[in-house]
Amino acid sequence: MIILLTTLLVAWLLWHYYNKIVGAGNRAQRAWADVLVYERQKIKVLDALEEQASSFKIYESNVLEKVVGLRSALGRLPEAASGEALKSTQMATRELMVGLNMAFEAYPDLKAAGIVSSLMKEIVEQQANIAAAVTVFNRTVEEFNNCIQMFPSSMVNAIINKKQAITPFSDKEAAASFDYKPNF
């Protein structure tokens, strides 16, 4: 009887931790999918911005190239959760916004174009949505990584699931601007 109860308890624990790991992995993947959705929505805005920007004969070609490059980079984001893959697109977005702001200063006629101005505002709004989605992504990645690395679920993962830790997104450029450094 004790052997049967022990066997049932071990089976239940394996089942419980296996499902806990699978659920945490699915939540992390869903959070990454949300990040991709916002990034891909930004592609639509970039397409419209490119169309508008190309209509200005004196518009700086390097800004237009950044729009095209960013759209391509967004299209190459992997379907599998990866905070590392997001770094280049975030940097490219920053560079694009700096270029657009410089072009606005250099070409007042461009600033008067309401469509371009509204598209720039939409890109900023998309970036805010992406930032929120990345926050959720990093939180779910932390939960997943804790789940596969902490005992006893780490043993279940090592034996059954064999899931690898997911790299959260981190912005080294933003972190460099902080004076405070936690002592981990």
- The model's pTM is 0.71
Number of C-beta neighbours around residue 79 at 10 A = 9
Give, in order, the Cα–Cα distances in Å from 113 to each of 50, 78, 147, 155.
13, 35, 51, 60
Mean pLDDT of the chain: 81
Q: Is the pLDDT of residue 170 over 90?
A: no
- Which comes out higher in pLDDT, residue 41 or 120? 41
Query: What pLDDT shows up at residue 20?
Result: 95
Q: What angle do CA 30, 33, 37 make, to 5 degrees?
A: 140
The tokens describing 156, both together, are 């279940």
Least confident of 56-65, 84-93, 149-158: 56-65
Position 120 pLDDT exceeds 70: yes
Task: Map out the domains of the chain as residue ranges.
Answer: 35-133
> Is the pLDDT confidence value at 168 over 80?
yes
| Residue 158 pLDDT | 94
Per-residue pLDDT tens over the stretch 63-98: 677 777 777 777 777 877 777 778 878 887 877 777
pLDDT in tens, 136-147: 999 999 999 999
Give residue 10's pLDDT band: very low, low, confident or very high (50, 70, 90).
very high
The helix (run of H) or strand (run of E) holding residue 105 is helix 83-106
Amino acid, single-letter form, for residue 81: A
